[in-house]
Chain A
Amino acid sequence: MATGPRALVITAAGINCDLELAHAFAAAGAVPEAVHLNELVREPSRIDRYRLVGLPGGFSFGDDIAAGRIMGALMRRSVYPALAAAIDRGVPMICPCNGFQIAVQAGLLPGPDLGMPWPAVAAAPTVALAQNSGGSFRDAWTRVEIPADTRCIWTQGIELDDATGLLPSAHGEGRLVADDSLLDRLDANGQVAVRYHPDDHFNGSMRRIAGICDPSGLVFGLMPHPERYTRWTQHPRWTRLSAHQRSGEPLGLRMFRNAVERTLVAS
């Protein structure tokens, strides 16, 4: 009988990274369970049973109109209050790729101003994930940086080295766009959770931002896929890594460990 904290993985039409997200939760000691959005819409209180939440990547509803638009619009009208309440309870939530695009549409990121409660009605989107500056979908592993002052509980305290400090990305709409004043505030609050390395900044995001968090640091949205980097054989050059380089845990798994440990401390 599995005993770790229960993790909710939300699926829906076109979501296709639910399996690797579930595996990542499991590798970090959580007990994942995939639930279709339709069931959560019917019964939002189901969300109360979980100590972690994952909003996976994919092409929800075909990413028609724009990436994450339709699913985000559906969620803001249905499960947003239950999710906001979960975050208030201290539930960490990760939203990679399409999950990030959905979260900004659903009013879950960048979240309320520091010190303010979640509004009862989901806020209008203030961050966009627009078409990559190169114009098309791109699959690439890129080096990343984690700001020292980040308040993101998923990325805090992780040190990176050049050979292994990578994350895989695969998206067509990942160029983060927002008002300068908002970006200043995210920077000042430590809400930037991960950046692309200056040499690997392929999608043209403002300030090289790859991922952000809400003011609590619990809700983490990012375009790369840490859930696809929890085993060394997923590294694009693992056959070149030395035994020493492969001695610890891969970057993605460390993020999930951070979140799972957080739930254990909190309980």
Chain B
Amino acid sequence: MAAVHRVEVRPRSGHRDVRGESVARQATTLGIPAPREARHASVYLLEGELSAADVERIARELLADPVTQVASVVRAGAPARGPLDAIVEVHPLPGVTDPAAESVEGAVRALFGLDVRVRTGDRYDLAGIDAEAARTLGARALANPVIHGIHLEPWHPTSFPAGHARELRIVEVPLRTLSDAELERLSREAHLFLSLEEMRAIQAEYRRLGREPREIELETLAQTWSEHCVHKTLKSTVRYREANLAPGQRALAGPALSGRPGHEVAPDGTVTIANLLKRTVAAATHELIDPSRPDHVDWCLSVFVDNSGVIAFDDAHAVCFKCETHNRPSAIEPYGGAATGIGGCIRDIMGTGLGAKPIAATDIFCVAPLSGTEVPAGCLPPGRILRQVVAGVRDYGNRMGIPTLNGGVWFDPRYVGNPLVFCGVVGVMPRSMVKGQVHAGDRIVAIGGRTGRDGIHGATFSSAEVEHGTASEFSHAVQIGNAITEKKALDAMLAARDQPDGPLYRGATDCGAGGFSSAVGEMGKDVGAVVHLERAPVKYAGLTPTEVWISEAQERMVLAVPAAKLGRLRAVCDAHGVEFCELGEFGSPDRTIHLLWNGTEVGSLDTHFLHEGVPMPTREAVWDAAWSASQQPAAGDGHGVGPRLLDTCCTLLSHPNLASKAWIIRQYDHEVQGASVVKPLVGVGEGGPSDGAVVHPVPGSPRALAIANGLATGWSADPYAMTLAAIDECVRNLVCVGADPARIAILDNFCWPSCDDPRNMGALVRAAEACLDGALAYRTPFISGKDSLKNQFRTQDGRTIMIPPTLLVSGFGIVEDAARACTMDLKRAGSVLVLVGMTGARMGGSHRAMLGACAHRDMRLPDVDPARGARTAKAVAACIAGGYVLSAHDLSEGGLLPAVAEMCFAGGLGASVDLSRVPVAAGGEVDDECRAFAEDPHRYVLEVDAASLGRVESILDGIAHAVIGHVDDSSALEVVGTSTARERAPIDRLQSAWNAPTGG
């Protein structure tokens, strides 16, 4: 008779209890009562027909380390009290992925030949706090009630919950006769999140078919038509007008855009844009790659159509890049949300063409300030979100063996309810593998993880606005990943791809949002498919056909496999211990997707209606600059400003947006695969922030790849300027580490508050138009993109907190010779500092302005001139490629002085800077504070050997630049201004400021 056996593993006496020791620290960080002492034990519950000797052996030989740990087998009915004052025990809830349990089950089978079911947990014995405080500690620090059960005594169930097979029920959803109000109610109550127009379109389709839809069909339509999958806002027709344009802002309504393809200007100035995405972001790419133009970009291999964008690396290899967000899950369960975010993005790379190998990751997070943020009910505190998100990326990325090489964190109070988690992954593949092709008759093969109820409604959920009650209502949409399952699938896929006679499959895609429904739906778009849903390997019994079809269980890939190669593919999967399932066959006579359950048809979907049927209503967009300005967070009270410029510089270096992220970076393996050439921290003691990463994708080739991001959320008062600034920053970051600006491709990631509000839609139009203008000016094609457009939070008292419009521009570019890559740390006393680019009087959007005390200043955003930015990037890149530059750094957050300060402490060298030499723009008085801290785009600081200065100056001919100082070995930064006295600060002080973020 199967019983549940309980084993506890704890440190042997005299050995450290590192996890126990961390408990008090975590409690103190959260400001909740901390235990005087905490002891940790790992708990294993084993269900199976085991003898006492079996359990002893498993405990001793597998679960405990004989040197440092001791295992004890605990009988059922043992005393519930522990040795200290209280106990908290944490276990994953039933149905939540428990990777450690899966590993133990496999190991027990392999080592002892025994079948067990396992659940793991953590026990904490606590001294100095009572049960109530222990529960608080459990819920807020040690567990997340969304995915964990929290027990105040040892948990020892008599059996584990198990699913039961259910009888097949085909559920029809009568909607042909529903009224509009009833359609809307159905959409809401069934969590379809479809608009009335979309519900009507479905109603019309089923009236045409003369039957009611089945549940599985309706769910598939909801998934496929979700914002997450179909980008229906960005692809809609938009009517854009400007209610209110601030001085200096680019007019886009009226004649400004007439003549732009797809843009129609009405006499009243309103611009109608049919398919915004196609006419802006994609239009730029298609113009750049148009082969009829003599100077066209000829190195884009696949844009927008696949799971990632692909460019040529060299004659034999291609590189691809995808960046995704995982915002909603990360708000509710930050650890699992971030981990499955990066896991999903990795699968996008695996599912590009015939499969690329992931070689680098980048992660950008946007969260509320860690201190001083008022946290509404229903939100997790930002500090916990950030720590857990970092842990999620760490545990998944490190386990997959993918170096996380670049990233950033942006703090703004408006991210409190909707933190943003951007995960980007770069891959490499042979050029011959860039495109797959599904043929009718190919088998549908699923490999990797099993299917459970995980993440059901993830895609529709991510298209909903979050409310204070959402966490509990949607907890089933939140998941925990198992990186090793994905790693095994990756290993098997690459082995199957790299067979001597060619790949064992003809097409590949990942199961992301929508699960099988979107993977098979997408691959079978042109040929149809027949799917036997009962064949899918499941985590537990009792799943309905609909659940199998739409589950978003992680770590699954779908392959299109010629029948003749099925056996060999199965053998490769077996060799890697990867689950393999033939789900059905691509191709059906009527291009329809037929869903079967043990031979009975449970649903059928017309691929044309599925993919083309979604109505695209016209959306109203209004740019209202005054409203946008009113949405900006209040500036500080001037605390930390002055009296001297270098005091302000230290305050800025401690600003959480600028300050060191070493505590995050050090948790990521940025060395795995042995290919990182420029790492995230550079210079003496690796104490400086690199602008970008450089990685060697192809062993033996001198050519390398630079990876960087641009984000200019400080400029969100005008998303047009913000977008150009973000593109410029991304390009500058890439150029500074050695990329060729003629070989840079970029990605867009829009995270926006709800575009049902025409003002947010207006902001989106401005950003999209800037993508077109920016990409054309820099000649940087967008190759892939993503959007998340409902990022706002409704509080219990009815307030809506909208995130600032946020556009992340990720980019990668070719570095001709890795040995010529450049870093930002000063290298040599005696060299000169050249400032490239123009500085103006406008301080809007700068970090200096965020500090406050700017009443007398011009608070408009600085001028952005992408043509000038592109010329500047090209010239700076020529200086670096010529070998004339010892170090290069772009000027972004904080402006000139913080940038020079970073170069100083990263190089362990001093410098003197004369602000009177800074090239300034005409119009308005550019005083020392502007020169020191303005955040004009298109600017760089280059360290140049005095002997090379002539060459550099001739390359920079026609571009504003000046020698503003020199490098010395004084260990101090010295600044003299136009009107301020000479000041000095030791580089240790600057570094200490940078190492100690305030409020972040």
Contact = CB atoms under 8 A, between A and B. Distances in A.
Interface stretch (B440-448, B664-672, B752-760, B834-842): B664-672
A236 B681 CA distance: 8
B818 interface: yes
Interface stretch (B78-86, B200-208, B483-491): B483-491
B5 to A, nearest CB: 16
A204 to B, nearest CB: 8
A65 B99 CA distance: 10
Interface in A124-149: 124-128, 130-133, 135-141
Given A73-B62, A139-B670, A239-B682, A13 B577 contact: yes
A121 B611 CA distance: 61
B65 A128 contact: yes
A62 B15 contact: no
Interface of A: 11, 13-14, 16-17, 19-20, 23-24, 36, 38-39, 57-59, 61-66, 69-70, 73-74, 77, 124-128, 130-133, 135-141, 168, 170, 177-179, 225, 227-228, 230, 233-234, 236-237, 239-240
Given A61-B484, A137-B394, A233-B696, A73 B15 contact: no
Interface residues of B, number: 68
B125 to A, nearest CB: 18
B67 A38 contact: no
Given A137-B669, A170-B670, A239-B825, 17 more contacts: A16-B487, A19-B673, A57-B672, A59-B399, A61-B103, A61-B106, A62-B99, A65-B42, A70-B106, A125-B67, A139-B665, A225-B671, A230-B674, A234-B671, A236-B682, A236-B686, A239-B682
A38 to B, nearest CB: 6
A133 B577 CA distance: 34
B671 A69 contact: no
A57 to B, nearest CB: 8
Top 3 A-B residue pairs of the complex, sorted by shortest distance between their CB atoms? A16-B401, A20-B674, A64-B103
B19 A237 contact: no
Contact of B699 (A14, A23, A135, A136): A23
Residue in A11, A20, A125, A239 whose Cβ sees the most chain B Cβ within 10 Å: A239
B103 A228 contact: no
A157 to B, nearest CB: 24
A195 B716 CA distance: 51
B604 interface: no
Interface string B648-688: 00000000000000000111111111111111011110100
A244 to B, nearest CB: 15
Contacts of A20: 672-675
11 contacts: A16-B400, A59-B399, A69-B65, A73-B111, A126-B67, A137-B398, A139-B666, A139-B671, A225-B671, A230-B674, A240-B684
Nearest to A13: B488
Interface string B488-513: 10010000000000000000000000
B325 interface: no
A125 B667 contact: no
Interface string B378-413: 000000000000000010001111000000000000
B68 interface: yes
Contacts of B677: 233-234
Contact of B576 (A13, A133, A239): A13
Contacts of A239: 678, 682, 821-823, 825, 827, 887
B27 to A, nearest CB: 14
Given A13-B577, A240-B683, A135 B19 contact: yes
Contacts of A69: 62, 65
Given A64-B99, A233-B821, A240-B827, A130 B400 contact: no
Given A128-B67, A139-B667, A62 B674 contact: no
B575 interface: yes
Interface of B: 15-16, 18-19, 21-22, 42, 61-63, 65-68, 99-100, 102-104, 106-107, 110-111, 394, 398-401, 482-484, 487-488, 491, 575-577, 665-679, 681-684, 686, 696, 699, 818-819, 821-823, 825, 827, 887, 907
Nearest to A62: B484
Contacts of A62: 99-100, 103, 399, 482-484
A54 to B, nearest CB: 13
Contacts of A38: 575-577
Contacts of A74: 107, 110-111
A177 B12 CA distance: 12
Contacts of B394: 137
Contacts of B666: 138-140
A11 B665 CA distance: 27
A66 B683 contact: no
A66 B483 CA distance: 16
Contacts of A11: 491
Contacts of B673: 16-17, 19-20
A101 B171 CA distance: 53
B573 to A, nearest CB: 12
A225 B111 CA distance: 29
A125 B674 contact: no
A33 B333 CA distance: 41
Contacts of A132: 18
Contacts of A139: 665-671
A141 to B, nearest CB: 7
B680 to A, nearest CB: 10
A42 to B, nearest CB: 10
Given A62-B103, A234-B676, A73 B61 contact: yes
Nearest to B404: A139
A39 B576 CA distance: 10
Contacts of B62: 65, 69-70, 73
Contacts of A168: 671
Residue in B15, B484, B576 whose Cβ sees the most chain A Cβ within 10 Å: B484
B487 A14 contact: yes
A234 B674 contact: yes
Contacts of B699: 19, 23
A237 B674 contact: no
B417 to A, nearest CB: 28
A176 to B, nearest CB: 10
Contacts of A170: 398, 669-672
A73 B61 CA distance: 8
A236 B63 contact: no
A13 B63 contact: no
A178 B669 contact: no
Contacts of B821: 233, 239
Given A38-B575, A233-B819, A240-B683, A65 B103 contact: yes
A164 to B, nearest CB: 14
Contacts of B111: 73-74, 77
A57 B672 CA distance: 9
A39 B42 CA distance: 32
Given A20-B673, A133-B18, A237 B819 contact: no
A38 B99 CA distance: 21
A62 B488 CA distance: 11
Residue in A14, A36, A73, A234 whose Cβ sees the most chain B Cβ within 10 Å: A14
Nearest to B700: A23
Contact of A125 (B15, B65, B575, B823): B65
Contacts of B484: 13-14, 59, 61-62
A133 B111 CA distance: 31
Contacts of B683: 237, 240
A128 B69 CA distance: 10
Contact of A136 (B15, B483, B487, B667): B667
Residue in B18, B61, B483 whose Cβ sees the most chain A Cβ within 10 Å: B18
A127 B110 CA distance: 24
A14 B65 CA distance: 20
A63 B669 CA distance: 15
A136 to B, nearest CB: 6
A128 B686 CA distance: 30
Nearest to B9: A65
A126 B575 CA distance: 32
